Amino acid sequence: MPHTAAINRRIILNRRPHGAPTPADFGLQDAAPPVPQAGQLLLRTLYLSLDPYMRGRMSDAPSYAAPVALGATMLGATVARVDTSLHPDYAEGELVLSFNGWQDYALSDGTGLRKLGGLKQPSTALGVLGMPGFTAYMGLLDIGQPKPGETVVVAAASGAVGSVVGQVAKIKGCRVVGIAGGADKCRYVVDELGFDACIDHRAADFAQQLAAACARGIDVYFENVGGAVFDAVLPLLNTGARVPLCGMIADYNATELPAGPDRLRLLTRTLLTKRIRMQGFIIFDDYGHRYGEFLAQMSAWVGDGKIKFREDIVEGLENAPQAFIGLLEGKNFGKLVVHVANA
């Protein structure tokens, strides 16, 4: 039976942030839920994924995807329940991976939906078995191409992407060094995820600690952060190193170029003389056709206990803006998910 409520809450982009987002950049609106027509579904959001890329979509600067329009619902991947179905391929009550955005209800014609079947923990479709896990898997294996015995370094190592990168690198026989913010995250990365070492990027002697942990240099650096972390990594890269460029979260709130010397010549000279491969990628644009391959392998690893994961669950759609602001400040511990409604 449908469970439709009288109100569809949605969080909109109220204004474009200048620098770090603030609560005033978002707005909470109430409206009647949309009504499905023939061939459509009404989806009820259960879980909402919060991810760093959303900061770029709040800006109208040129990028790989169109920005969120002012007054429009914030975008995002969701796990949803089919509340009402006028579509022959979906039954009421089925769970699907969808793109409802930051709202309680959304319409769909079935395009782009993926049935979740009997997935034991549906929220994992937004994390280790979803876009972050897919990003880690393809970026490391296709671009990073780790070989047994090599040293792999990953920034934001306790996060949704970095934690998977490091564990897959261990499966492939590499020595893995993580970089994370704070002693608790570093302990988790080593003690729970099995990394060989983890360096706190907040430490005053971070660069020296990283160099000591990478005595044989760095063969693969999975870049999630940029900024001072990359400055410390650059001189440690070995000849022939590979750098999958996934994100630069240190710069997402920047309004101008960083202070200090221009490092572009140093970077380009290092890339040339050491024959380093540094490649950016957009996961579904570049690898969408390989999602099935990823899902089969990652599901097996998770089922066998070879890949562990941690979720940071925030209760209530209304708390999504503050949680997202915290994400950009590194306050989350694990994959950040908003629990919107019960199944």
Q: Is the pLDDT of residue 1 over 50?
A: no
Cβ 104 vs Cβ 317: under 8 Å: yes
239: helix, strand or coil: strand
Cβ 119 vs Cβ 95: under 8 Å: yes
Q: Which CATH class is domain 131-284?
A: alpha beta
Per-residue pLDDT, averaged over 160-186, amounts to 97
Q: Is the pLDDT of residue 94 over 60?
A: yes
Beta-sheet pairing, 8-13 with 26-31 = antiparallel
Token pair of 257 as six digits = 């170029």
Q: What is the maximum span of the chain, computed from C-alpha positions, in angstroms?
A: 65
Compute the distance between CA of residue 304 and CA of residue 296 in angstroms, rounded to an integer. Answer: 12
Q: What is the pLDDT of residue 5?
A: 61
Model confidence at 303, pLDDT cuts 50, 70, 90, reads: very high
Cβ 199 vs Cβ 151: under 8 Å: no
Single-letter code of the amino acid located at 54: M
Q: Is the pLDDT of residue 268 over 50?
A: yes
Q: What is the pLDDT of residue 254?
A: 67
116 CB-near residues (< 8 Å, 6+ apart): 79, 94, 95, 96, 97, 122, 125
Topology at the third CATH level for domain 8-126+310-339: Quinone Oxidoreductase; Chain A, domain 1 (3.90.180)
To which H or E segment does residue 311 belong?
Answer: strand 311-315
6-57 pLDDT per residue, tens = 799 999 999 999 999 999 999 999 999 999 999 999 999 999 999 999 999 9
Against a cut of 0.95, is the pTM above it? Answer: no
Per-residue pLDDT, averaged over 138-161, amounts to 97
Q: What is the pLDDT of residue 118?
A: 79
Average pLDDT, the chain: 94
320-332 pLDDT per residue, tens = 999 999 999 989 9
97-108 pLDDT per residue, tens = 999 999 999 999
On the question of a common fold for 8-126+310-339 and 131-284, the answer reads: no
Going from N- to C-terminal start, the domains of the chain cover 8-126+310-339, 131-284
Q: What is the pLDDT of residue 100?
A: 97
Beta carbons within 10 angstroms of residue 316's beta carbon: 12
